[in-house]
Amino acid sequence: MLKERIEGWYKVAILNFVLFAPYFNAKVYPAFSLDKIIVLLCITFIASMLLSRVIYCVVAVTLVVVNIICLHIAFHWGLLAFNERINIGLESPPLEMFEYLKTYCSTIDVFIIIHAVLCLWGIWHIARNRKPSTYWMRALSAIPFVLILLPITANPRALSLPIISLPYEIYDQPVRHQRLERRNALISSMPERNLNCRADFKNIVIVIGESASADHNPLYGYTHAGKSGLSGEGFTTFNAISGANQTRLSIPMMLTSASVDNFDDFYKSESILTELKSCGYATYWISNQPQSGRWEDNVSSLGKEADISVYLTANAAADGNHFDEELVEQVNLLNNGDEKKAFIVHLAGSHFDYHRRYPKSFASQEGPMIDIYNSTVRYTDTVLTSLFKSFDKGSLLFVYASDHGEVFDHEIFGHGFIPSYQDEYRVPLIAWSSNQGQLKKLQDYAKGKVINTESFNDILDYLIGLESTPAKVSFSNVVLQASSSHLVSYSELRDAKNL
């Protein structure tokens, strides 16, 4: 019996070491000292082994699955905001998740899978052998098991470990979804207002780019993406940073009164779309982004405020890939009649994976990654040029800004990193107005400064005449880092170009 117990214990000890080895890696947990928590969880595992071999194996298999997700996120993005990463995954449409996996699976993921297979082999080996124990050992082992579960029951994030927080985030997702539903109901129940947009344009076009970096934009002096078709058209460019390095955070701040300091205001405030409706405009949301995942996201909630919403990718699995030039066709179909119209056009832009963002006939989809990214920038420029030229210039406001930037050097690319890079926030912000005097005042007010696009809606309010001065425009240096609760100073972030 003693020999059997020793054999059982050493198998459990070896498996526990293999299971928890990744957590001792500074790459995975650079900001936490987890030795005591790891010991407690190991005790819990051993206790569950004594109580029930089935319980132990279930918990161990759960940890293997969590490890795969945790290690992938840690090595590709950093794990300082693990919960937010899970939220992004839960909110992302299947098409976007598929593109993500195609782009961000590398050699390290092979080793992660090998580690998981070894762990599962060990679990199977323990499960098929008889567990040596006695009744008093089972009773004694229940004590630490219960003591550790008590704080977890009180606060599922108590130990700040993925094995606890991942199931909790999945469980909590419907609760966050209800918050968006309450926002939608609140906006729908707001009484109609009559606002006075003193600028009174016949057409307003607001284009939101995707992952477009000002560093790669020809209007900002970048020469490797060709000459812009908008050069010589009289566009005004502004130096700007995004309020966040994630779409689900940046666009709500761009289009509502939500800000870096108070993102929660998004859930109780209307967007520029509702304001434009109150000024007598027919409003349109035309998007080449997936509408939502299993749960509605912040951006699709905004789209519901428009009179008419069109999503090219509503049935992307059946329809295949769509290019942004189709957005121009949709706008042209809707731009008829004499009524005032306001369009918000949401591009797929330069989101990975890059070679899917433009047709093969436009440019080569082979070669260095930076050339492919630059091709997305050139393609976006042709779309913007085509869209701009399709409107009469007699009474027009045309504004383009990207939701966030993109990191791009020889080793890394993308956005949403933690810690983040300055490159993820530098965005193009350009405008054309038939009321050049008002645009000139905004340019003078922002001269020598960097606009934070958390106040993009304040810029729009000024340009359409809801505000008499641009005084509300933000030049704040504070931005969000992949989460509404992670505020950082832009000037203190790393610049990938200088690494």
356-380 pLDDT, tens digit per residue, is 899 998 988 888 888 999 999 999 9
Mean pLDDT score across all residues of the chain: 82
- 498: buried, middle or exposed (CB in 10 Å: 19+, 13-18, 0-12)? exposed
Going from the C-alpha of 451 to that of each of 1, 45, 313, 465, the distances in angstroms are 73, 52, 32, 19
| Residue 334 clears pLDDT 80, i.e. is over it | yes
Q: Rounded to whole angstroms, how far apart are CA atoms 403 and 250?
A: 6
- Beta strand 341-346 with 282-287 is parallel
Which is the CATH superfamily of the domain at 195-498?
A: Alkaline Phosphatase, subunit A (3.40.720.10)
Number of CB atoms found within 10 A of residue 480's CB: 25
Sign of the dihedral defined by the CA atoms of residues 47, 49, 53, 58, in that order: positive
Residue 1: what pLDDT? 47
- How many residues appear in the chain? 499
Q: Rounded to whole angstroms, how far apart are CA atoms 254 and 126?
A: 54
Where do runs of H (alpha helix) occur along 190-283? 247-255, 272-278
Q: Rounded to whole angstroms, how far apart are CA atoms 491 and 434?
A: 35
Percent of the chain with pLDDT over 90: 47
Q: Which two tokens stand for residue 362?
A: 């436009």
Q: What is the pTM of this model?
A: 0.83
Q: Which residues pair with 204 in a beta bridge?
A: 342, 397
The type of residue at 92 is S
Q: Which two tokens stand for residue 265?
A: 């205001």
Alpha-carbon torsion, ordered 224, 229, 232, 233, to 10 deg:
-140
Q: Cβ(255)–Cβ(306) under 8 Å?
A: no
Q: Tens of pLDDT along 121-156?
A: 877 877 776 555 556 555 655 655 555 555 445 444
Going from the C-alpha of 60 to that of each of 5, 55, 71, 163, 165, the distances in angstroms are 20, 8, 16, 10, 16
Q: Where are the domains of the chain?
A: 2-175, 195-498
Number of CB atoms found within 10 A of residue 348's CB: 26
Residue linked to tokens 């990718």: 313
